A and B are shown apart, each in its own frame.
Chain A
Amino acid sequence: KNQVEQSPQSLIILEGKNCTLQCNYTVSPFSNLRWYKQDTGRGPVSLTIMTFSENTKSNGRYTATLDADTKQSSLHITASQLSDSASYICVVRVSGTYKYIFGTGTRLKVLA
């Protein structure tokens, strides 16, 4: 069964600290993996998109990694800011289809 699991479910960190969010998937065949940031009550915003051949991709303080062999991805946030408080959602697309499998997200709270 195609699934995307994210951990932790929630995370609290102090401003300025780094953190890493995890995404494990069982989606096959794999097309690409996306990370979104979603502020409460607002639409998701795309952070990174990675294909099978990409191991890492950065977007400012956000760096995503992908290990297609172990079917794991991580999102690393450097020098966190209060504005990073949001839900982070991992999405995997099934190759050969237009189907997207969403993780349930990690809710991050950054404290001053």
Chain B
Amino acid sequence: DSGVTQTPKHLITATGQRVTLRCSPRSGDLSVYWYQQSLDQGLQFLIQYYNGEERAKGNILERFSAQQFPDLHSELNLSSLELGDSALYFCASSVVSGGGSTDTQYFGPGTRLTVL
């Protein structure tokens, strides 16, 4: 158990809908990262927040957005869902900002999203 929690575990929805994935980082961790893992593309970095502020963006679509709240939990919002958005979405957390440092990222168990 990494100490990172994600809800829900599974989510099934229809195309065009909007969903929200939630992540609670490990106690004391200030950084939260979101990743997408699909069968054909492997793991992809989406976005990072540090202490409530957006720190970095990866391959995140404009239909997707995220935020980190004062209690440090984070939410990933996916809208206008398409079939291709079906994937495992992982959240990870680390203590520091992840600048040039070799901070360890601890991954949650993931949310499996199925878009029908």
Contact = CB atoms under 8 A, between A and B. Distances in A.
B56 A45 contact: no
A43 B45 contact: no
B22 interface: no
Interface residues of A, number: 23
A97 B102 contact: no
A43 B90 contact: yes
B42 A105 contact: yes
Contact of B42 (A42, A43, A103): A103
A43 B43 contact: no
A104 B42 contact: yes
Contacts of A97: 56
Contact of B107 (A32, A44, A103): A44
Contacts of B42: 89, 102-105
Contact of B98 (A50, A51, A98, A104): A98
B52 interface: no
Interface string A24-68: 000000011000000001111110011100000000000000000
A99 B108 contact: no
Given A99-B45, A102-B43, A45 B107 contact: yes
Interface of B: 2, 4, 42-45, 48, 55-56, 58, 88, 90, 92, 98-100, 102, 104-110, 112
Given A44-B107, A97-B56, A103-B42, 12 more contacts: A32-B102, A41-B88, A42-B109, A42-B110, A43-B90, A44-B90, A45-B2, A49-B102, A89-B42, A98-B48, A98-B55, A102-B44
Interface of A: 31-32, 41-46, 49-51, 89, 91, 95-100, 102-105
